[in-house]
Amino acid sequence: IPRYSAAFSSASVKSDLSKAMSQDGASQFQEVIRQELELSVKKELEKILATAPSHEFEHTKKDLDGFRKLFHRFLQEKGPSVDWGKIQRPPEDSIQPYEKIKARGLPDNISSVLNKLVVVKLNGGLGTSMGCKGPKSLIGVRNENTFLDLTVQQIEHLNKTYNTDVPLVLMNSFNTDEDTKKILQKYNHCRVKIYTFNQSRYPRINKESLLPVAKDVSYSGENTEAWYPPGHGDIYASFYNSGLLDTFIGEGKEYIFVSNIDNLGATVDLYILNHLMNPPNGKPCEFVMEVTNKTRADVKGGTLTQYEGKLRLVEIAQVPKAHVDEFKSVSKFKIFNTNNLWISLAAVKRLQEQNAIDMEIIVNPKTLDGGLNVIQLETAVGAAIKSFENSLGINVPRSRFLPVKTTSDLLLVMSNLYSLNAGSLTMSEKREFPTVPLVKLGSSFTKVQDYLRRFESIPDMLELDHLTVSGDVTFGKNVSLKGTVIIIANHGDRIDIPPGAVLENKIVSGNLRILDH
């Protein structure tokens, strides 16, 4: 147990501790510490709640109650949350190939099936890792369109094509809510009803004392870094608390399709939806997780396993150190979670009201700007799969997993490898092989602004297998990259790839300056 110095200083605690130590030792000692720590945290949270203005009181109370429950579980759990010996490969029929789902075809009444669907996008993240301020969903990814634009276009296209009313719901965080709501006005005339709700706002805790860092409810000034959104596993409670879950059930909606807003491959799939609405064996499926085959680039992705008779998502953070290499093995665990999930609304309501959604706690250590070490407790939406009945994995094509986490990913989706149609990106038919090239852009390209400055136009990449760029490199207009291309400018050097250059299986290094005369 960490040093809990600030958590207990009173005489009563000391006497409790000495009693515990004189009895049969460590377990009671730890139990007393746990109880005292919970009491101290409770008092701190009450102090914070007392600073909430009346119009925020109820909302803040729900957040802090949720945090207390999570903190209580955090103190109860010991060691890795999975027993490696119990992990088994999932049974054959529990992960179905997408081809089998697609082969069932579509019913005539596809519109009435679509009208039972709600699309939810996880929109809590900022664009900081790509050097952008504000919500990540507002970064331009293709022809000036942002992630959010493309999402709205996709759903509007569905609603117009099938004459349906599929709504879009954004789960924002306190980091993204205000900026997102300002932008939503521009979609007022689109044929998509857009709703938002906020995930919870939990206090970060000091790594040493395990007490909240925040002193009051504000999140400005010195309190800016005191709060965090607790991961997308928070969707179940937040969606329920927002009232939207009941609203949609009242409107006859049955399933939500949840995905990350930065996964450009996560479009509504009619075949999967039909499989859910018309299950072949008559048994309704409450939870579908789309998985796809691992490549060497995906070794850290969470994988579906069989555990104590249920499908269970296992993340790398839960794996005992001795088994991490085995977990990363592409041969033993062949698939990973895309975080495209189809979930029954009625089941979410039932489990939420029974307090029966069980998700492992992810402990995420951070260092604040001032150097203070904190931890934040998070959960992941897919981890709840084991709480639902008759869950299913569907092994989908890689094209349904197209996340944009870095400017290397951005280069791929901006290039001629993909064509854009009604908000959906599809691999160009001109590409001869279905795999996506491996692209690694160096640190000079990390920020979107720098990245855009270094490409006069996006190169032709239809025949590219592998691109590595390192150092101070710029690309002129209409460059074509084929096969394996490696461009390395050493420290102090600069390489300007000239306009119209065709690089096929080339290594470029040294210094190449092209200046206007």
Q: What is the secondary structure of 281-336 as a DSSP string?
A: TSPPPSEEEEEEE--GGGTTS-EEEEETTEEEEE-GGGS-GGGHHHHH-TTTS-EE
Residue 16, pLDDT score: 53
pTM, entire model = 0.90
Question: Phi, psi (5° rounding) for residue 368?
Answer: -75, 165
Helix (H, G, I), strand (E, B) or coil at 436: coil
Is residue 2 within 8 Å of 207, Cβ to Cβ?
yes
Q: What is the mean pLDDT of the chain?
A: 90
C-alpha closest to that of 201 among 158, 166, 238, 146: 238
Is 482 designated active site? Answer: no
Residue 99, pLDDT score: 97
47 is in an annotated binding site: no
Question: In angstroms, what CA-CA distances link 162 with 156, 165, 252, 314, 421?
Answer: 10, 9, 18, 38, 17
136 is in an annotated binding site: yes
231 is in an annotated binding site: yes
Burial class (CB in 10 A: 0-12, 13-18, 19+), 342: buried
Question: In angstroms, what CA-CA distances link 298 with 212, 336, 439?
Answer: 35, 8, 14
Residue 1, pLDDT score: 46
Residue 31, pLDDT score: 84
Distance of alpha carbon 13 from the chain centroid: 41
Residue 71, pLDDT score: 94
Residue 472, pLDDT score: 96
466 is in an annotated binding site: no
262 is in an annotated binding site: yes
Residue 178 is which amino acid? Answer: E
Own/partner long-range contacts of 512-517 (Cβ < 8 Å, ≥24 apart)? 514/476
Is residue 120 within 8 Å of 248, Cβ to Cβ?
no
Residue 25, pLDDT score: 67
* Weakly modelled stretches of the chain, pLDDT under 70: 1-25, 78-81, 516
Residue 95, pLDDT score: 93
Check 193, 334, 349, 405 and give the catalytic one.
405
